[in-house]
Amino acid sequence: MATNVKINFITGSAAKVNLTSSNVIKATIKDRGPVGATGATGETGASITSAAFSSNDLIFTKDDANTVVLTNAKVDLKGDKGDKGDAGAGITEQTVGFTVTGGTTPKTLTVALDANVSGTNTGDQTLPTKATGAELDNGTDDAKFSTAKALKDSHNVPSVAPGTSGNLLTSNGTDWTSSAPPVSVSVTTKGDLQTFSTVPARLAVGTDGQIPRANSAATNGIEWTPPYNSLSYQALINGGFTVNQRVYVSDATLAAGAYGHDRWKAGAGGGDYTFTQLPQSTQITIKTGKSLIQVVEDKNVIGGTYTLSWEGTAQARFGKDSATPSGSYATSPLTITGQTAGTVMSVEFNEGTLGQVSCANSSVALPFMPKSYEEELRACQRYYIRMGGTLAYNHYGVGVCNSTTSARVLIPFRTKMRTIPTMGTTGAAGDYSVYTTVDVLCNAAPSSAGVNLSSEEVFIVNFPVDSGLTAGQSCLIRNANKASVFLDFSAEL
């Protein structure tokens, strides 16, 4: 009987081709055909060359480099847990004894089973190490032990062998040494000082009022000197150019012999100079071809050796025992020797900058010692005083009318002047007035009432008017509302 069969065709690419009902091939199976011939032998399969776990996976590597992976094989193929093993042999506690031989090589431990030694094993033990001398110096490690060599090497612990009898143990900054005691110089008088040149030396006490002063030129580097700001330190006045009573204006013409800043007068060629006035020491600049001179009063000359020093580019010369400097100019410092005590002396500076001038009674230059303005002004007013010249109606003094046409006023000086001064005035007759109840203008410039009526401490001035005064009436003397008007008194050298 015929049977319908559905046939699937396999293509060379292994894809199936199905025949649908529309193209079903019907075949009639009849008798079985003969058996076909045996097929050819297939190729030899690949061999496994290695196997290894990667995590839980077992990976087989074949000789053709391909691999086969059994996923999770470590878990899936794990065998059953084995039986518990037999108990091991016990160790019986045993007391032992041991001997350690000396030396720096590793030690040999000999154990005697019959020794009567017991204890507890606490692990490896480390013996203390020895300290060095430097470690003994800093003293910060208390786990090390000291040795005789460390004690000797330590600088903090004296380990010096005894020296000569009477020596002292002294430090040289690094170690201890045995040294002879320092040489001592016995001072013999109250106030003596022990000094040193190449060996210790005694400096005898100075005179009352003196002070010690460093001086590299002195035998022992120190000497007794008068106190600061005395004549020994400064023979000049206004060496810092702080006082300017005459109100000299920078760069103004200063004729020969005329004064600029107090105590400084122009040389033979004039003395013009420029400056910017400061409250304290002021530097000036003397113009080309000009010079400034200061004459030192005889009462201020100690005599002997002086050193003139200053700041600036100006050069100087001096007049020994003279008010007129001479000779060549030189740079600072300048030494003056053989000056006679109680005799005038002088100094002169030529063109250039000049400031902080000092003339000290010393063989070396001493630092410039500024004075207070009040002290410097008082010293200057021994030689020159100016009254007025700053405000309208400046008053000069109180007087009395000695007639209907004249008044006299007594003007006391702030300090005793060097000698009876010469009075100077500025302005015309009508610049001054005598005031009683009203101002009466002068008809001539004020004048001295007579040398015999004045002194170094007071000056009598006569103020003349045409009329209007009452004899015996007191009065005030002042300028007639003119600020630039003044009276001055000069006792310059």
Q: What is the mean pLDDT of residues 303-313?
A: 97
**pLDDT tens-place string over residues 87-101:** 765 545 554 444 444
Does residue 278 belong to any structural domain of this protein?
Answer: yes
Query: Are residues 413 and 396 part of one domain?
Result: yes
**pLDDT tens-place string over residues 183-240:** 666 688 888 888 888 888 888 898 877 788 888 878 888 888 766 657 778 999 999 9
Does residue 364 belong to any structural domain of this protein?
Answer: yes
pLDDT at 6 over 90: no
pTM over 0.75: no
Query: Are residues 359 and 341 part of one domain?
Result: yes
**pLDDT tens-place string over residues 344-361:** 999 999 999 999 999 999
Query: Are residues 270 and 376 part of one domain?
Result: yes
Strands ordered across the beta sheet of 439-441:
439-441, 432-435, 474-479, 395-403, 406-412, 458-464, 447-448
The three-state secondary structure class of 326 is strand
Q: What is the mean pLDDT of residues 76-85?
A: 73
pLDDT at 286 over 50: yes
Query: Are residues 355 and 297 part of one domain?
Result: yes
Q: Which of 380, 404, 419 is the last residue of a domain?
A: 380
Does residue 104 belong to any structural domain of this protein?
Answer: no
Domain of residue 284, CATH code? 2.60.120
Query: In this predicted structure, what is the pLDDT of residue 28?
Result: 46
Domain of residue 370, residue span: 265-380
- CA neighbor of 442 nearest in space, from 403, 483, 477: 477
pLDDT at 422 over 80: yes
Most distant CA pair in the chain, distance: 192
**pLDDT tens-place string over residues 149-168:** 877 777 665 566 666 777 87
Q: How many CA atoms lie within 13 A of 370 on its CB side?
A: 13
**pLDDT tens-place string over residues 427-460:** 788 999 999 999 999 999 999 998 789 999 999 9
pLDDT at 470 over 90: yes
Number of helices (H), then strands (E), in the chain: 4, 31
- CA neighbor of 431 nearest in space, from 486, 361, 352: 486
Query: Are residues 396 and 352 part of one domain?
Result: no
Query: In this predicted structure, what is the pLDDT of residue 25?
Result: 44
Query: Are residues 348 and 408 part of one domain?
Result: no
Query: In this predicted structure, what is the pLDDT of residue 206?
Result: 85
